[in-house]
Amino acid sequence: MKVTEAEEMIRVRLSMVMRQKRITPSILARKTGISESVIRGYIQEGVVPTAGRLAVICEALKLDIAWVCGLRAGRRIKMSDYDISKKGEEK
């Protein structure tokens, strides 16, 4: 099965940030509760995480999920952007 550009972007960006932050798959596994072998699959083999797992990984790495997917230029996550309890309120 051919890997799409978006799937490759997720793999590259996750592995790049992990390398920059010196976070090993073992450390990320402990932070997220996702097994180390699954994390390795995401960053080394190009296995695509589910949306839920990608959100957990992005939260642990303090990343904007839209950036990881190539939809936005920024890196840092602002939790207020994702807080659905405040939807419709002025920021």
pLDDT tier for residue 82 given thresholds of 50, 70 and 90: very low
pLDDT at 89: 42
Average pLDDT over residues 59-77: 79
- Asked whether the whole model's pTM tops 0.85, one would answer no
Q: What's the length of the chain?
A: 91
pLDDT tier for residue 38 given thresholds of 50, 70 and 90: very high
pLDDT at 83: 45
**DSSP 3-state percent helix, strand, coil across the chain (nearest 5):** 60, 0, 40
Q: Give ∠ CA 31-36-41 in degrees, rounded to 5.
A: 120
Long-range CB contacts (within 8 A, 24+) of 51-55: 54/10
Is residue 6 a contact partner of residue 70, using CB atoms and an 8 Å limit? yes
- Give 41-70 as a DSSP string: IIIII-PPPPHHHHHHHHHHHT--HHHHTT
Tell me the pLDDT tens digit for each residue of 41-67.
999 988 899 999 999 999 999 999 988
